Structure 1
Amino acid sequence: MTESPEAIVKKDARNRRVAGADPDKRRQILDGALHVFTARGFDAASMNDIAAAANVSKGTLYVYFEDKEHLFVALIEREREAQKRGAFEALNHDSDPVRALSNFGQCLVGMLNNEFAVSAHRVVIGVAERMPDLGRSFYENGPAQGSKLIARYLDRMVAEGKLAIDDTRLAAVQFIDLCQATLMRPRLFNAIRSAPSEEEIQRIVASAIEMFMARYGVKPTR
């Protein structure tokens, strides 16, 4: 009995998952892709370039990733997960909102301003109109997830009487935007080509904390 086209597609997908199960080979491909995307940008990079940089055959590359877009998304997810752990640990293990938010803000701004993160944002913004699913995935698994995690921390601080916030989701987004003020947007447009110094990040985040606490800090009773 001849298999239907749908059955063949499903079998190919299963075979790809089984064949592409070597974590070392996957990491090797992603390392090569990181080099190519960073050097050439998304549109100029080709699967041939990535295969060469990763030192694998083009056939092997397609066993692991069906196209350049899915490879790029997988790379973004890997880099994001590796970088954000330290930032969120600052929230999970510190009950002092000023100190925790300061540590988080500095980690976040440093993470967003590294070369790959800036490049990833540029790429996703550039392709989001013709590839809305990629843009939505990038937003939901990055900025939206981050604001939700901060909002949970703010909820805990409100419950402990350390902050006075009616809408913690809004406050979380406000805090993220304050921490990026004057830093991220010039980088996205290549108006500033180098990452900010640690001293500049500390200065901007300290100002963000001051404004945030002026609005949401618990006022002492008289």
Structure 2
Amino acid sequence: MNAPTDKIKRGRKFDQVLDGAREVFLRDGFEGASVDEIARAAGVSKATLYSYFPDKRLLFMEVFRLECDRQTGAAMNEIDFCAPIAEVLRQAARHMVLSFLAPFNQAVFRICVAEADRFPDLGAAYYDSGPLRLRHEIVAHLDQARARRELAIDDLDLAADQFIELCKTDLYTRCVFGVDHRFGEAEIERVVEGAVTMFLARYGG
């Protein structure tokens, strides 16, 4: 099969490739995922796959980047940024906790850590698409709250990092190390409320 050149055809096959790659990467890991298997899972030829992604690492990070886009878009649509800052932080914290615990995000994190020594650019791309992007989003909204005098923050980057880490308390660590994978609503709310309370105790205006 020749590589498609028509934009409509390219879009259709492009999505197939990403769906197949997502399935195989999560099942086999980055190194274990073969181009043959990704092409089979996607229902395309290797020629088609390579016409979109000549480098497997680029394909892996595109899968992750699109998932980041999806999750960020969902959060931006659901968080009411006109609400009082405590409620905005609460909604943001809940999205972060659920995102940190999501099986897909956990799998991507493990793959990037496992491959970081051999493929440092993979780890760097993960950091840019995930943690760094998350920090930028939070900094922007903290800055707006500071301008409204709802928060008193000198170092926005540090405050954003602290809030992110507060949202990783307990559940995230247990999940990363495989101790637990399922958490009840009460456990999630405990982390969310704790993160917001601690953050406002330090930075509340």
Aligned to 2:95: 107
Asked if structure 2 preserves the Cα contact closer than 8 Å seen for 1:51 and 1:61, the reply is: yes
Moved more, 51-60 or 36-45: 36-45
Moved more, 90-99 or 102-111: 90-99
Asked if structure 2 preserves the Cα contact closer than 8 Å seen for 1:20 and 1:26, the reply is: no
Amino acid at match of 2:103: E
Aligned to 2:160: 172
> Partners of 2:162 and 2:183 in 1: how far apart?
21
Aligned to 1:213: 200
Aligned to 2:34: 46
Secondary structure class of the residue paired with 2:151: coil
Deviation readout 1:61-120 (Å, 9 max, x if unpaired): 111111321111110011111112122345673341110111011111112211111000
Aligned to 1:77: 65
Asked if structure 2 preserves the Cα contact closer than 8 Å seen for 1:87 and 1:107, the reply is: yes
> Residues 40-189 of structure 1 correspond to what in structure 2 (within 5 A)?
40-89=28-77, 93-189=81-177
> Partners of 1:143 and 1:20 in 2: how far apart?
35
Query: 1:56 offset after TM fit, Å?
Result: 0.9
Query: 1:199 offset after TM fit, Å?
Result: 3.1
% same residue: 37
> Partners of 2:155 and 2:18 in 1: how far apart?
39
The counterpart of 2:190, out of the listed 198, 203, 219, is 203
Amino acid at match of 2:116: A
Point out the structure with max Rg over C-alpha: 1
Asked if structure 2 preserves the Cα contact closer than 8 Å seen for 1:90 and 1:100, the reply is: no
Query: 1:20 offset after TM fit, Å?
Result: 8.2
Secondary structure class of the residue paired with 1:43: helix
* Paired residue total: 201
> Partners of 1:66 and 1:148 in 2: how far apart?
30
The gaps in structure 2 that reach 5 residues or longer are none
CA RMSD, 1 decimal: 1.9
> Partners of 2:57 and 2:6 in 1: how far apart?
17
> Partners of 2:137 and 2:25 in 1: how far apart?
29
Q: 1:20 to 1:170 in 2, by over 3 A?
A: farther
Query: 1:153 offset after TM fit, Å?
Result: 1.1
Asked if structure 1 preserves the Cα contact closer than 8 Å seen for 2:20 and 2:39, the reply is: yes
Query: 1:174 offset after TM fit, Å?
Result: 0.2
> Partners of 1:19 and 1:132 in 2: how far apart?
32
